[in-house]
Structure 1
Amino acid sequence: MTTQLAVSSLALEEGFGGALLRGVGAIALYAVVGLLLMLVGFYAIDLTTPGKLSQLVRDGAPNAVVITSAGLISMAFIVVVVINNAGGKLSEGLLSALVFGFVGVVVQVLAVRLLEWVTRIDIGNLIRSQTYTPASMVIAAAHLALGLVVAVAIS
């Protein structure tokens, strides 16, 4: 009797395997969407920043590293909120995550560029400098703050 009770307690519900596979598939698809949005975000920052930001980061320019790091974190805020808020069927969730994520990235980049213009920080010279400049923290803070604002606006 004890053996039969133990076996029936460990039995999985019918359809559990299929649900598990669908869940794993959804995780993989959302991870791909997230990666795609992060890449779009990085290249949007790179393209809208004077100079080749990715090369400056590889060369170890400290201000470029600070600003790029903050930009990537801000993009991650947006991507996380977009994926968290994606609802409905899997296809609808993936599509809404792509659309809202893309719009969020565009808004984020435009807002940061506007803030840089308002503060009159010469971002081109700043990121090319091989010496850390505290003004890079202002741009980094702008990325993080605006990333949070855009992420909350999406939610």
Structure 2
Amino acid sequence: MHTHILALDPDFGAQLGRGIGAIALYAIIGLVLILAGFYAIDWTTPGKLSDLVRTGKPNAVLVTSAGLVSMAFIIVVAITSSASDLTAGLITSLVYGLIGIIVQVAAVRILEWATRIDIGEMIQSEKYSPASAVVASAHVALGLVVAVAIS
């Protein structure tokens, strides 16, 4: 009968520690970028977005949710595209995330102009507006485009 002893690489503890540190750092950058994206949308949209979301305005909730998902796409791809180098991964996640925020805010303003959708009025409405699905889809689509451009 053979007995096998599980042996870990002598460097296993250090690797595990680096991995946990990387997760924490990426989580912090992700949170900062998602908050920055939220406040960029809030700053460029009439009305106080956080109040609109908190009070359950359906269009504000939908558009904000799509913007957050879009930022997550960008951050995830930035992380995976430079996963072998932690410092480069953190920097590219931050830079690409900031570019993604700028692109999203600009694109939503262009969409508003092109479609004549009054996004400020729409997100403040108590009633669901199908146009909010168009704005939300634009957020997700742009997030995917920026994410793919990163990879």
* TM-score relative to the length of structure 1: 0.90
The correspondence for 2:21, drawn from 5, 20, 25, is 25
After superposition, give the CA deviation of every residue in 1:33-88 in whole Å (9 maximum; x if it has no partner): 11111111111111111111111111111111111111111111111111111245
1:136 aligns with 2:132: yes
The correspondence for 1:12, drawn from 8, 25, 30, is 8
How far does residue 125 in structure 1 lie from its aligned partner after superposition? 1.1
CA spacing shift, 1:108–1:154, aligned 2, 3 Å? farther
Does the 8 A contact of 2:58 with 2:127 survive in 1? Answer: yes
Match of 1:34 in 2: 30
After superposition, give the CA deviation of every residue in 1:72-124 in whole Å (9 maximum; x if it has no partner): 11111111111111245322221121112111221122112211211110111
Task: Give the Cα separation in 2 of the matches to 1:52 and 1:30.
Answer: 28
The correspondence for 1:59, drawn from 55, 61, 72, is 55
Task: Give the Cα separation in 2 of the matches to 1:116 and 1:154.
Answer: 26
Does the 8 A contact of 1:34 with 1:79 survive in 2? Answer: yes
Give RMSD over aligned pairs.
1.5
Does the 8 A contact of 2:52 with 2:123 survive in 1? Answer: yes
- Structure with greater Cα Rg: 1
Amino acid at match of 1:30: Y
* TM-score relative to the length of structure 2: 0.92
| Overall identity of the aligned pairs, in % | 64
Task: Give the Cα separation in 1 of the matches to 2:94 and 2:32.
Answer: 9
Task: Give the Cα separation in 2 of the matches to 1:72 and 1:143.
Answer: 9
Structure 1, unaligned runs of 5 or more: none
Pairwise mapping of residues 1-155 of structure 1 onto structure 2 (< 5 A)?
2=2, 5-7=3-5, 10-155=6-151
Does the 8 A contact of 1:38 with 1:79 survive in 2? Answer: no
